[in-house]
Amino acid sequence: MKVFAGNSNRQLAEAICKYLNLPLGKASVRRFADQEIFVEIQENVRGEDIFIIQPTSSPTNDHLMELLIMIDAFRRASAKRITAVIPYFGYARQDRKSGSRTPISAKLVANLITESGADRVMTMDLHAAQIQGFFDIPTDNLYAAPLLTRDIKDNYDLKNLMVVSPDVGGVARARSLAKRLDCLLAIVDKRRDRPGESEVMNVIGDVTGKDCILIDDIIDSGGTLCNAAEALLKQGASSVTAYITHGVLSGGAVARVSSSKLRELVITDSIQPTTAVLSAPNIRVLSSATLLGEAIDRTSAEASVSSLFDD
C-alpha cells in the first residue's frame, strides 16, 4: 500500500500517513506557465495498492483535474489498484435535475473519475446517499457520526441534549445522531427564497431549556445555521452548537458564524481549514485522519469497512 496526495489537503494526507505509519508517497503536482496541471510520480508504483487523498474543495475545478490526472498517471505506471479518497466530494449538491435544462453534475464527475482509471472511491458524508449509485465502481461512503458523537459525549450533558435538523431534508441524519446519543429530536422548518438565503419559519419540537446540537453535512454561506440558531434561542433553547462534517465556509461565512449566536461550530478537516477558520473564536476543527486511515487500512487488507460504524 502507498498513499499519495494532491495539493487540496496535504495536512490531512500527512496525518493519515502518520496514523498508518507510512511515508507520504513522492509525487510532484505542479502547474505549467499557462496553469495546465502536470503530475510526475517520483517512485516506483508498479503492482502497488494506491490511495490518492484529494478532496475536491475550492478551487473545485483545479483540485478535480489534479485528481483525474493523478489517477491517469498511476494507471499508466501500472499500479495494481487505484482508490480515490475524496473526503469532500465537490458537485454533490447537483445530484438531480432541480429544474428544466439543468445538469446532474454529480453524475458527470462520477463518470470522469471512473473513466480516468480509478478502481475504487472512498468519500465521507455524501450530500445525497444516492450519489454512491452514480459510480460504476465500488464506492465507500464513510460517516463522520462516530467522530461527532464522541466529541459531543465529551463536552455535553446528554440528559439535557436535543439534536436538531436545520431543515426537513436532513431529518434522517439528525435522527441517526439522536439515536446514537439517546436523546430527543427537533426540526427547523425553513423556506428558501433564493440560493444562499434562507428564512426560518418554525421550530418543530420543544427546545425550552435544552442544549441544542444542529447537525448537517455542509456549511457553505452559513445563513441557514445562523438563522436556525437564532430561531432556537428565541424558542427558549439554553445554547446552540453546530456539528458539520464539511466546512466549505465560502465568502463571508466565517465572519457570519463568528458574529452569530452559535456557541460553537465544530467541523472536520475534510476540507483544509483556512487561516480565518483557525483564528475564529467559535470554530473548532476535528481531525478525521483516524477514521479515514482506518478505512484505508481495512480496504487494503480486504477487511470490513462498514463495521467501523456499527453502534
Could you tell me if 250 and 58 are in contact, meaning their C-beta atoms sit under 8 angstroms apart? yes
- Angle subtended at Cα 168 by Cα 123 and Cα 124, rounded to the nearest 5 degrees: 5
Is 287 annotated for ligand binding? Answer: no
Phi, psi (rounded to 5 degrees) for 277:
-65, -45
The answer to whether residues 94 and 106 touch, using CB atoms and an 8 Å cutoff, is yes
290 annotated as ligand-binding: no
What is the three-class DSSP state of 198?
strand
| Spatial CA neighbour of 75 closest among 115, 128, 106 | 115
Q: Is 293 annotated as a binding residue?
A: no
Instruction: Confirm or deny that 36 is annotated as ligand binding.
Output: yes
Q: Is 117 annotated as a binding residue?
A: no
Residue 190 a catalytic site member: yes
| CA gap 218, 123 in Å, rounded | 14
Query: What is the CA angle 252-253-256, rounded to 5?
Result: 90
Give the chain's radius of gyration (CA, Å): 20
Does the annotation place 63 within a ligand binding site? no
Establish whether 40 is an annotated binding residue: no
- Are 24 and 17 within 8 A, CB to CB? yes
The answer to whether the beta carbons of residues 126 and 169 sit under 8 Å apart is: no
* Residue 285 Rama label (left phi>0; alpha psi -120 to 50; beta): beta
189 is in an annotated binding site: no
- Contact 32/38 with Cβ under 8 angstroms? yes
**Catalytically annotated residue among 2, 26, 159, 190:** 190
Task: Give bridge partners of residue 102 from the DSSP assignment.
Answer: none
- On whether 223 is known to bind a ligand per the annotation, the reply is yes
The SS3 call for residue 114 is helix
Of 55, 57, 3, 61, residue with least CA distance to 27: 3
Check the annotation: does 173 bind a ligand: no
Q: Cell numbers for 193, please give them.
A: 427564497
Known binding residue 94? Answer is: yes
Reduce the DSSP state of residue 154 to 3 states and report it.
helix
Q: Does 35 appear as a known binding residue?
A: yes
SS3 call for 108: helix
Residues belonging to the binding site for D-ribose 5-phosphate are 192, 216, 220-224
Residues belonging to the binding site for Mg(2+) are 127, 167
Residues belonging to the binding site for ATP are 34-36, 93-94
Q: Which of the residues are catalytic?
A: 190
